[in-house]
Amino acid sequence: MSDDDTTRLWLVERSYDDRDLIILIYATPDGEYELRKELAAAVMHQRRMTVTAAIDAPTENLEPVSDDDLRERYATEATKMADSHEPDEEV
């Protein structure tokens, strides 16, 4: 994590559930921390909200990833995203 108040996270997972929610998971490049966002699909479309490759989030809002396999997968996905996209690029 960074030394200041925010940390850069990269999109590692996007899914949908049966309640019409879009679930976005952003993680640090090492896969150690995550931030989960749940957004109503209708609201996203109504407000024309975009999903970007990365976000900067308050460090205090991050949750540690306790599962080793998940942490490794998040690190792999975050690295791929960082290598192939600009942080503010819509994905």
In this structure, how many other beta carbons lie within 10 angstroms of the beta carbon of residue 75? 19
User: 38: domain range?
Assistant: 6-84
Q: Is position 1 within any domain?
A: no
Give the DSSP per-residue string, 15-46. Answer: EE-TTSEEEEEEE-TTSSEEEEEEEEHHHHHH
Q: Is position 90 within any domain?
A: no
pLDDT digits (tens, 9 = 90+) for 26-71: 999 999 999 999 988 887 777 778 899 999 999 999 999 999 999 9
pTM over 0.85: yes
Q: Is position 19 within any domain?
A: yes
